[in-house]
Structure 1
């Protein structure tokens, strides 16, 4: 019945299902383990009427016009510029750490001195990873680097990843750099916003096609089996000669043959607060205080008139495959070596394509996943 089977209904799976159904006019089966579509981007209106992101805040930002135009086919946008503060030494300072942060923390004379030295060394607007700034030989800049490292990065990283910044892949620590400017937007991409009616509506429109069949509450392992020896794929006991597009965990796909890949997970605690607003911006980080890493207030992202608000506290933890959601691939040399073995095994199957953060074991943002999916469709499917 189906020419294509897609495992997972996040952006990777939904974009490819939409393209196959609309452009190729072929039938697609989407298998989804959860009771809803949309993956970790799933959102909903709770009893307060506020749109809540069930798996943590998602802000759409991209420099890819192609991606912005594509997603705009399925939603109207609320133009939104994300701002983040960090609670440091009893006050809330802008994140990423920038020139404004310096003037807020230090005396005017010291702040001016540090600003001039940064501008002499780096181009205005440049983004410097904290571990790079720590290598400076200038004593004043070294003082600044150590302050930022200890007050902003160290304990937050320990909570988020269970490791010190030096123990992580540079790809991770460079995601939140020091910004040599007074720009206080968390993202600097050309296109930024949130879907007017939330993300779930996007997925509903993407997957609303007579060629697309969706199975919710279904573990793909109940229906699909891979024969490694003969490099065949079986669906409901019969050989499947169409194309299997897999967006889930690659180690799960191959029954953990080479071991479980490491991930970090989260415990998410939602609270309804009986006040109009809880905090100044959508997200406040707590690098040094409490066990949670940050508090998100969704009413800043999706404004609504109500005297209540909803907040989310995130408590990072090690991933337990029996009960947790794998939020973040944990990059280190050993993990990359294990993934390479799984990737090599996957390449033996002619009718298998891996797409997405979990399948490719990469830290993709939403726009990265979408552009990757569009490219895969053009290069390997169309």
Structure 2
């Protein structure tokens, strides 16, 4: 390892979930010196939150709702935050009504003016579902479950806005994540653990990075310091194509434009998020007070407009993009002193808990490597 008198054991690029979890583990568990750099003026990556001018806690990069089935992930993060139980609910604006999404028993009954039971709605789905020989695309996933009409009303327009492509052009994984329910469960997620950091994500990240062995540099592109400050191993959480100077071409991402507004009223909408699958240029509106539980006379919301250009948010799931990524992945595997972690570095759509789980797994491997080197040094010393 580096002589820590003048350098760092680890240079970590990016202070989001992947980088911050690894910084915390390496510093607290192995006593290593870590420098974490981020080109943005804040820690927390896209999960960063702050109080706006009205004094309302908002998520500048759109709503981040924490949910996980992993006790390991939840217990790990619980070291750095208390939690507020919160179960996210989403309504979709369809045919002049606000209807539960994921599609459930109430969605079907209210949309079609029916009074079906859970058993009958199963039969209803079976009667409208289209037979698909081989499920290849996002369209196939939905029409094979709930038929063409529900697909057109709830999925097709939303997906076209979000991805700039028809669902028939997109990999099945995009809509495979969205369940369909035959009961009245209107929660957006069904995970075991559903909660929000009690004092916000930024406070949680501050607690995570509050260690004497961790130094944080913001407003810094890692390329500015990579040859100036000594380090032994790099953890890179940025876009993998940018690391290799786009030598195989640019990996496509969908981006988002956010418009934040504050209204002098107690509530703007009945739930945390309302989707707009067919009308307007935005895909959804989220109201933060539902999500954070904050009490305030005013309320702040965010409108989300998908974009082709801008900060990278969603890797585009098409076979040809995976082919490009595989070229970068092969290059990444050749590097002994750089580890690629997180959504952008591995070109995969991960939820927050999945990034934490990935970072903890990577830490396990780095720890084994570190302990192996210590044993070698001890053997040589003998």
Q: Same fold (TM over 0.5)?
A: yes
1:75-122 alpha-carbon deviations (Å, 9 max, x no partner): 00000000000000000000111111011111326788851415879x
Within 5 Å, give how 1:274-285 maps onto structure 2: 274-285=264-275
Q: Which residue in the other structure is 1:359 paired with? A: 345
In structure 2, relative to structure 1, the CA distance for the partners of 1:159 and 1:286 (3 Å cut) is same
Match of 2:277 in 1: 287
After TM superposition, give the deviation of residue 243 of structure 1 in Å.
1.1
Mapping for residues 209-358 of structure 1, pairs under 5 Å: 209-224=211-226, 235-236=227-228, 240=231, 242-319=232-309, 324-358=310-344
> What is the aligned partner in structure 2 of residue 12 from structure 1?
18
**1:187 and 2:179 are equivalent in the alignment:** no
Partner of 2:180: 178
- Closer, same or farther in 2 for the Cα pair 1:316/1:188, shift >3 Å? same
CA distance in 2, matches of 1:206, 1:175: 30
Distance 2:93 2:189 in 1: 19
Does the CA-based 8 Å contact 2:141-2:176 persist in structure 1?
Answer: no
Cα deviation, 1:51-97, whole Å, max 9, x if unaligned, reads 10010001110010000000000000000000000000000000111
Structure 2: gaps spanning 5 or more residues: 1-6, 128-134, 369-382
Match of 1:146 in 2: 148
Cα distance, 1:347 vs structure 2: 1.0
The 3-state SS of whatever aligns with 1:218 is coil
Secondary structure, counterpart of 2:80 in structure 1: coil
The Cα shift of 1:236 comes to 2.0
Q: Distance in 2 between matches of 1:7 and 1:291?
A: 34
After superposition, the Cα gap between the structure-2 partners of 1:119 and 1:173, relative to the gap in structure 1 and judged at 3 Å, is closer
Please state how far the C-alpha of 1:182 moved relative to its aligned partner. Answer: 1.7
Contact 2:273 2:285 in 1 (8 A): yes
Distance of aligned partners of 1:106 and 1:112 in 2 relative to their CA distance in 1, 3 Å threshold: farther
Distance 2:317 2:118 in 1: 38
Q: How far apart, CA to CA, are the structure 1 residues paired with 2:104 and 2:69?
A: 22
Let me know the Cα RMSD of the aligned residues: 1.9
The answer to whether the Cα contact below 8 Å between 1:102 and 1:111 also exists between their aligned partners in 2 is no
Match of 2:372 in 1: none
Which whole-Å CA distance do the structure 1 matches of 2:359 and 2:248 have between them? 27
Q: Is the 8 A contact 2:92 2:276 kept in 1?
A: yes
CA offset digits 1:302-359 (Å, max 9, x no partner): 223322100100000102xxxx211111111111111100111111111111000000
TM-score by length of 1: 0.88
The answer to whether structure 1 residue 59 and structure 2 residue 32 are counterparts is no
Segments of 4+ moved more than 3 angstroms:
109-114, 118-121
> Which of 181-190 and 296-305 deviates more?
296-305
Q: Sort the Cα spacing of 1:109 and 1:72 in 2 relative to 1 into closer, same or farther, 3 A.
A: closer
CA pair 43-116 structure 1, distance change in 2 beyond 3 A:
closer
For 1:173 and 1:108, how far apart are their aligned partners in 2? Answer: 26
User: How far apart, in 2, do the equivalents of 1:77 and 1:377 lie?
Assistant: 25
Q: Distance in 1 between matches of 2:257 and 2:173?
A: 24
Q: Give the corresponding residue for 1:132.
A: 141
- Give the TM-score normalised by structure 2: 0.88
Give the distance between the partners of 1:376 and 1:306, measured in 2 at CA. Answer: 41
> Per the alignment, do residues 109 and 130 of structure 1 end up closer, same or farther by CA in structure 2, a change over 3 Å counting?
farther
Distance in 1 separating the partners of 2:100 and 2:120: 17
Pick the aligned partner of 2:45 from 39, 44, 48.
Answer: 39
Does the 8 A contact of 2:142 with 2:175 survive in 1? no
Aligned to 1:198: 200
- Cross-structure match for 1:379: 365
